[in-house]
Amino acid sequence: MKGSERGRNAGIGALCVLAASVLWGTTGTAATFAPDVGPLAIGAVAMGLGGLLQALVAVRQITRHAARLRDQHGTVLLGAVAVAVYPLAFYSSMHLAGVAVGTVVSIGTAPLASAVIERVLDRRRLTRRWTLAATFGLLGTTLLCVAEAAHAADDAAQASVAATVLGIGLGLVAAATYALYSWAAHRLITRQIPSRAAMGAVFGLGGLLLVPVLLVTGAPLIGSWSNAAVGTYMALIPMFAGYVLFGWGLTHVPASTATTLSLLEPAVAAVLAVLVVGERLPAAGWTGIALVIACLAVLTAPAPAARRRQQRPRDAVAGDDAGEATQGDLVRPGVT
């Protein structure tokens, strides 16, 4: 694949992940419209039904590539378990620590977890660009978390300190499982399994694992039309549509880049928490959002080589080495 084509594909992949992140950023706010539904039920209906729907629409692709999926059964099972654990930890974290803090911790620390997984399991070296972007992103999410935690400490209506600490701990669990199923899906895709089959298998099996949780905790979801509407929205829009986009993104970017791009989610969640839920965000929180945006700008901006290529005459470009670094270093984090 030529460098320019690889760069375009990486850009499309990045946009897909960013679009998914915007959809995911609405989940915490949506959950507040169903206050009678517990976090376990919210997580189970969102990821459970969303995962089963992914498997349903991908049945043909899953059947066609069943042999390859069986060969990678360990990766599929690992990803499915992570899919099942993630929403339970994520929504419980937001319930205990607040929408902004739970989202920030769960998503903000995922790039580090993803980098560790890729380094240990894939022996992958990360680019300078990823390191710079992750630094901006992690600093921004830390500021968001500190700002919200300070506000929670001053507000008697917020969760207790013990509940907040437990929520942060569950957020770390969510981050680890998010990174793990992202890695598993990307690994399947890089082993010649189409993204729809890979995502359908991992999320479908994860959805099956969540069905018992939904049966035990999901009664409030049918207790009112508003609760049912929230559950339906969560399953169809952020989880089904969002993860279809995420799967397309993983076709062109590695898991470490995808989890870093998804740092947009806590920024979206924090803004919605202010505009819709009525939470207050101190100046440090807005600074954190600005740093997250800087992180995304670093990751998605064309590399210098790509800009030079665009400025050269077309015939000169044709003679360039196709392997020269472009925005495709989003796809090849081993290049430093």
The predicted pLDDT at position 286 comes to 79
What pLDDT, on a 0 to 100 scale, did the predictor assign at position 289? 78
Which position has the token pair 């993860």? 243
Higher pLDDT, 294 or 233: 233
pLDDT digits (tens, 9 = 90+) for 241-293: 998 899 888 888 888 788 888 878 877 877 887 787 676 767 777 788 788 77
Q: Which of these ranges, 30-44, 127-141, 246-260, 304-318, has the smallest mean pLDDT?
A: 304-318
Summarize pLDDT for 220-236 with one digit per residue, the tens.
998 889 899 999 999 99
Q: In this predicted structure, what is the pLDDT of residue 217?
A: 93
Residue 33, pLDDT above cutoff 70: yes
- pLDDT > 90? residue 65: yes
More confident residue, 106 or 239: 239
More confident residue, 162 or 39: 39
Contacts for 170 with CB less than 8 Å, ≥ 6 apart? 89, 90, 92, 93, 96, 102
